[in-house]
Structure 1
């Protein structure tokens, strides 16, 4: 199974890199049929790949990735559930990092029974916990790795601001929020693909998921159509083919949206179905 999973992972990466969405969705359908274990996730690194795809700009890809991760979590949860036994076995030490997803509760520092050496400052200790909880959300990584990353983030934020001040607290709030809501961001931070120093200097816009960025761009385009379309002269033409309904009956207008030496942007609306698009 390990060989098949690695082969499927490579096929998925190839499809995503080539922006072949249909092929990627087909490969992800195959992935959903696998029953994975924690050991398989570590050996194949497929969890990190899917984790990043949960924030892909294509909604179908992100939703499919989220569904597979959820299914695998449920599979591993059911696999780890064993009937009560009369045999007495030593319970794990509370200081030992726990195996991820051993139960169906949201992963947090408390749920993972993670303990760490205090920084001596209550607010800084709370920051480590917040960063851990953000990184651990739907993550397959071991607790010791998550704790190491959380402590690295806190140290960088503290060293950047020099004290627990408003700048420190604002950065902590921003990072905590974005780590919770952006799967790709936290997967990259945990894996080391995104350096901790770079993570801590990213703006709110930089930390937004691809899905969120695509949604913002769409809303901005729609607002521009409405705001400028009402005051700009529209012309009807059959020069353009609607990508949605394939009809040619369209209206359009042009305006300068970039620098003066750049071409004008053409905004087109399909009269038949209302589809809108633009090009330069």
Structure 2
């Protein structure tokens, strides 16, 4: 590589560095907002599950279609991905967890149908002929509203209530920290686990007592579908925060790598220039000696 080529390559990488720095800054801003929303909603989701656990305990003899597992040989898997790339291993980790979940179901002689969220999951899984995609949704931009998650929740409630599937699971990345997001598979339906009254650290049931009007069974009819919506919404918020965090880290790594390449190119440029100057001085000195 000659000096001119090094100058051109350095200029090109510096332009790329400006882009990755800008994308890192944008992702950082979006990430902070997404994290704040996800963490705030997480507390609400946990409290809703705790209250509904108490409700289900009060109406434990009540049979609700969302609390029981239908006798079906099929399960439904929701895969939440992103619409855009440049987010490191975010989608790869989700797909890996999805394949693992699918294989586990197949070992239990269960068929698996899919609901995919995001262009990345749609484009990836529609190439696999043995997997049936019953619905696909686009992601919801940089912020997700509760009402936007409702159609997904409503669809799985309808399919599950018809007895089409024995269970519904969702694959997403749980946000832990800026550098740590874990791909998880959690069960959305049936809500049978909610019948187990939550136990405190001392091994006892919570001391809170509630009076329900009307009776718990009627309250369950109303709130259980809402709980499904809350669970779906929360997973999408976690996945959104994880996507922005992964993109910020990916852009930071790209910026750091570009900076290192620029340093190496500048070092090589200076070395070659010094060699050329030394060579020119030697030629001049040799010419002067020849003339003397």
Do Structure 1 and Structure 2 share a fold, with TM-score over 0.5? no
- Give the number of the structure whose residues are more often strand, by fraction: 2
Higher helix content, 1 or 2: 2
Q: Which has the higher contact order (CA 8 A, sep 6+)?
A: 2
TM-score by length of 2: 0.26
Which structure has the bigger radius of gyration? Answer: 2
TM-score normalised according to structure 1 size: 0.27
